[in-house]
């Protein structure tokens, strides 16, 4: 029995090692991809191949073309982030050029040219960072989600501090966020006993790199669908299921577009429960369900969604998007509409005519909640 237990432990160890190894390789590829995209964007801007499309218009046009070509995850925001990563970590070109065989059929000439022009001494910083001195080690230990947090830090010294301790202590992204938000860098700088502070960091480390594979960025990169693991509970999913079918069956122009539509800002992810396009109103309709009473923060969050769709999803000829927040608490339902940007009376009239009434939506939620409670 003792031998069987030892074999089991060894197999578990092997499985854990190669699972983390696979996750690291996926993240390594994802980070390199984004760095390369940033390089191409920057080189395009620098050469001014299309001076009429400089600035934000350039990135919006590229994002639209990529969307038309069914390339996922390449929003206006993401393209800007890729360029930012390239500008912050130009030394990664050394790692990319060492793997030139991977890019022989994908325009490696521009990468080779960038590598030849790269000069370590030209990097404008006074600290020797891991990312500069050993970019391969940096990429093998750091996820792209970590890099998104490093971007937010102020100055090379602070960024180097968090890079170093993320690698030394195997910080997850959440741990890194926690330490940055607690101003660890500043607190250590002010501390009279810095060694004691560093010792506490060593005792607070948790290695959990395999969690990175669950990142929405990585799932999108691997073309793996984001499943119901993101839903809050069974009751919410039950209501959303019925709501989706209810609106389509109304026959008033609702065209289903997405469920749990992800919107990402600076490494934070939000999801709109249901997204429809209304062919008569010519606008997107965003529906968010909250289990509980309506709160002012719900309106603020919906406003973020509406602004995002207005800037990134509206096509020529579209009207501004409409937001609907549905709130329920057990057998009581509160329905609140959050609308914005309805520019003309004609559209307002169409809006009132085409959308389901508040009473219809309220009854839908109340009936679904009662049905769910009876089942339990």
Distances in Å between the Cα of 297 and the Cα atoms of 166, 275, 301, 334 are: 33, 20, 6, 15
Closest to 183 in 3D by CA, of 221, 210, 153: 153
pLDDT of residue 147: 92
CB 146 within 8 A of CB 121: no
Roughly how many angstroms between the first and final C-alpha of the chain, as a whole number?
Answer: 44
Residues 208 and 326 placed together within one structural domain of the fold: no
Residues 197 and 232 placed together within one structural domain of the fold: no
Residues 105 and 202 placed together within one structural domain of the fold: yes
Q: Residues of the chain with pLDDT > 70: what percent? A: 68
Query: Residue 93: inside a domain, yes or no?
Result: yes
Across the range 195-205, mean pLDDT stands at 58
Going by pLDDT thresholds of 50, 70 and 90, the confidence category of residue 210 is low
Across the range 371-376, mean pLDDT stands at 62
Across the range 96-118, mean pLDDT stands at 57
Domain boundary residue, one of 191, 217, 243: 217
Residues 245 and 157 placed together within one structural domain of the fold: no
Going by pLDDT thresholds of 50, 70 and 90, the confidence category of residue 334 is low
Name the CA radius of gyration of the chain, rounded. 25
Residue recorded with tokens 């602004």: 307
What stretch of H or E contains 260?
Answer: strand 254-265
Query: Residue 273: inside a domain, yes or no?
Result: yes
Residues 192 and 283 placed together within one structural domain of the fold: no
Domain count, the chain: 2
User: How many angstroms separate the most distant Cα atoms in the chain?
Assistant: 80
Across the range 312-335, mean pLDDT stands at 76
DSSP reduced 3-state for 263 = strand
Residues 208 and 243 placed together within one structural domain of the fold: no
Distances in Å between the Cα of 84 and the Cα atoms of 166, 174, 242, 266, 277 are: 20, 22, 42, 12, 33
Closest to 187 in 3D by CA, of 200, 168, 169, 175: 200
Domain boundary residue, one of 196, 217, 238: 217
Phi, psi of 280 (to 5 degrees): -85, -45
Residue 315 carries which DSSP code?
P
Distant-in-sequence, close-in-space partners of 376: CB < 8 Å, separation ≥ 6: none
Q: What is the rounded CA–CA span in Å between residue 205 and residue 374? A: 46
Going by pLDDT thresholds of 50, 70 and 90, the confidence category of residue 7 is confident
> Is residue 228 scored above 50 in pLDDT?
no
Q: What is the rounded CA–CA span in Å between residue 107 and residue 101? A: 11
Question: Which CATH number fits the domain that encloses residue 305?
Answer: 3.40.1350.10
Distant-in-sequence, close-in-space partners of 64: CB < 8 Å, separation ≥ 6: none
Query: Residue 97: inside a domain, yes or no?
Result: yes
Residues 156 and 263 placed together within one structural domain of the fold: no
> Is residue 135 scored above 60 in pLDDT?
yes
Domain boundary residue, one of 217, 240, 275: 217
Residues 190 and 294 placed together within one structural domain of the fold: no
Residues 246 and 210 placed together within one structural domain of the fold: no
pLDDT of residue 284: 92
Could you tell me the residue range of the domain that residue 339 belongs to? 228-375
Q: What angle do CA 64, 70, 75 make, to 5 degrees?
A: 45
Q: What is the rounded CA–CA span in Å between residue 17 and residue 28? A: 16
Residues 277 and 192 placed together within one structural domain of the fold: no
**What confidence tens digit (pLDDT) does each residue in 268-295 have?**
788 898 899 988 888 999 988 876 667 7
If 0-12 CB within 10 Å is exposed, 13-18 middle and 19+ buried, where does residue 97 land? middle
> Is residue 231 scored above 50 in pLDDT?
no
DSSP reduced 3-state for 37 = helix
Q: Residues of the chain with pLDDT > 90: what percent? A: 4
> Comparing 84-93, 115-124, 216-225, which segment has the lowest mean pLDDT?
115-124
Query: Residue 222: inside a domain, yes or no?
Result: no
Residues 201 and 234 placed together within one structural domain of the fold: no
Positive/negative CA dihedral, 95, 97, 98, 102: positive
Query: Residue 223: inside a domain, yes or no?
Result: no
Q: What angle do CA 96, 102, 105 make, to 5 degrees?
A: 115
Residues 263 and 181 placed together within one structural domain of the fold: no
Query: Residue 246: inside a domain, yes or no?
Result: yes
pLDDT of residue 8: 84
Query: Residue 181: inside a domain, yes or no?
Result: yes
């Amino acid at each position: 029995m003792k031998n069987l237990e030892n074999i089991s432990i060894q197999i578990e160890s092997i499985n854990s090692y190669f699972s983390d190894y696979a996750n690291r390789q996926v993240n390594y590829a994802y980070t390199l991809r984004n760095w390369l995209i940033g390089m191409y964007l920057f080189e395009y801007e620098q050469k001014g191949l299309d001076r009429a499309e400089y600035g934000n218009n350039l990135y919006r046009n590229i994002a639209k073309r990529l969307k038309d070509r069914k390339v996922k995850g390449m929003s206006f925001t993401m393209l800007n982030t890729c360029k930012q990563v390239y500008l912050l970590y130009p030394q990664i070109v050394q790692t990319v050029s060492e793997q030139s065989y991977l890019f022989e059929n994908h325009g490696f000439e521009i990468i080779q040219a960038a590598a030849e022009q790269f000069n370590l001494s030209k990097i404008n910083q006074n600290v020797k960072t891991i990312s500069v001195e050993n970019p391969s080690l940096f990429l093998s230990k750091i996820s792209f989600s970590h890099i998104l947090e490093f971007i937010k830090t102020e100055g090379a010294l602070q960024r180097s501090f968090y890079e170093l301790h993320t690698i030394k202590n195997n910080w997850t992204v959440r741990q890194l966020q926690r330490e940055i938000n607690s101003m660890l860098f500043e607190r250590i700088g002010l501390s009279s006993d810095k060694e004691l502070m560093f010792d506490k960091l060593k005792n607070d480390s948790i290695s959990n790199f395999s969690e990175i594979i669950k990142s929405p960025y990585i799932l999108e990169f691997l073309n793996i669908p984001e499943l119901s693991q993101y839903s809050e509970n069974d009751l919410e999913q039950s209501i959303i299921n019925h709501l989706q079918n209810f609106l389509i069956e109304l026959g008033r122009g609702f065209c289903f577009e997405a469920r749990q539509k992800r919107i990402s800002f600076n490494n934070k992810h939000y999801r709109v429960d249901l997204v429809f396009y209304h062919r008569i109103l010519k606008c997107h309709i965003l529906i968010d369900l909250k289990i509980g009473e309506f709160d002012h923060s719900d309106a603020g969050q919906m406003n973020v969604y509406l602004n995002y769709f207005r800037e990134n999803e509206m096509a020529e000829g579209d009207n501004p998007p409409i937001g609907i927040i549905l709130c329920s608490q057990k057998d009581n339902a509160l329905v609140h509409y959050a609308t914005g940007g309805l520019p003309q009376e004609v559209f307002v009239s169409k809006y009132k005519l085409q959308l389901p009434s508040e009473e219809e939506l309220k009854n839908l939620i109340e009936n679904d909640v009662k049905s769910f409670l009876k089942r339990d």
